[in-house]
Structure 1
């Protein structure tokens, strides 16, 4: 089976986590800003789409070159063997972006790449009329940075954070892959208690349960590449999905709880957990942060509390941080991981973090404040 140069794209700040995921799946990696490079066959393409929890997309690298004018862009794009990837009836939309480059007008860049591919395929397939583009979709991207052109084929389709279980969401939902990143950074083991005290629509507890049971996060959705009959052998997708189903371990006993002060959000969280097939794995309860107490030891707490971005909300949010500090400082065996855009969080929590890590919730810069517990044996 043919090998491809592949890229797993990632949000800023979590590239190393995606690299770790890929290495644990058995791939050699090269971590870069916003992406991790690796190589593999079409089987690996589908497998990584199924199993990567933190990445955004898996892409095939079609070509890379430098171009400072449209003639160079056109000729070098046309020189690539597009017929190895795109059948005669392929629908191939071209997205584009450009940063710090001579070719900065993105619509023209997209149009030029599209024209070059059409001309190449028309010659290969001996077509004098327009290509039909009535078949499966092959999403292409041209990305130019400092005059370096990267042409990729997106195998995922919609972003990998769209797991397929989210029935409803709250006002400021956390993307599923960022929630998975938070669980990964918390170094939680499934034999320890796990709590989200401000769970909202339940994304963090659900991602923890998926990890705890070793359930492939992409099982409940489809990927663009699964419709590419010219590239994907018949039955390959079903075989990989069956293998993923067999890898899940539902015999693990999990202690995962999500709390929220808003009863409506708790109902939404329960609906999302049901859609993920995890309603028995997670306990959701309506409860305010200040009213939670536990005698359990060696737990992990991961929270994405309100950020207080509007000035009118800031006082109440910082009161919440103060309540968290009062309560959690009395839990020395628990590790606490709290994500917020309020860089003064430590002041109101009442203690400096053991470690801080910069992450991005969409375009918003946030910090993960980490308070490591002292495990009691």
Structure 2
């Protein structure tokens, strides 16, 4: 596809220098007002996200987590995007948006409950305006489009009140663009002018398949095909990701509809801890992208502008070490939820069918007779499921 010829928004070079010149002046204005403490905050969240990532990977290798999806190399895309969010905005992650959740304030230990198998989610989405991890590839795009349409119908778009107008962001990878759910989400968002930002982190590998096996055109053009304003940004440039997202969110909140952003980045680690990337990509390619490390890029800028010093770095290392220790200690103490918890999280209020299911399950667990009572009160097909369970199967 000639990736080097595709238009790319970049505001911070791989060498850590601000991009100057006539181009992209509107985006440069968006970052001109960022104060040193805000840039330090971005750097801090990127560093802590990577430490979380390293610790979670180690915990999985030690048998403390069933699986884990690393985000190493994608910290700038996620943190830059999340810094543009307003408190009332709502996000729908996939299973890799650890940096977004770091900025949103989700407890690091809660983020690992899902991977440890002790909870279906790990946190209350309404507390952070952040949905729980989504494993079904691309389904969060439909969830986000639907939620955005609800926000629109609730009158929370285009009011002119910055504390009220709301936008939605959904995150997915390059491979997810081949899924029907993502394309359906784009259709619904486009025709309804829903206030949603589709943030595609193109880390160039859909597990073991390169992007060239997914598409013949740059991914941001997918959005254009649906009539959605779209652009590609340097996903290792935290400032570009921030500026592009800020513009898209302002458009969404004002009633201007959706935006598609492709953050061109690189997954420096494995797809998940069950993956071996050495089987499908070269060490030479990995080394090229290590030299484009998003954290190093921002650190160099901060050093050159006198925004950080040795004391700040030492404090941040100490904070990262404390995070690692807390993760190791508390994660190992996480206990599985009760078996009946699954009945408590289906609906917000009590539902008669779910209550009957729970009663049957509790009787079954207690070794009490279930076939007669369950067959008369449960929905059609339930009696046959009871028979399967009594024969040693699972319901």
- TM-score of the superposed pair, with normalisation by structure 1: 0.29
Greater RCO, CA 8 A, separation 6+: 2
- TM-score of the superposed pair, with normalisation by structure 2: 0.28
Task: Judging by fraction of residues, say which structure has more helix.
Answer: 2
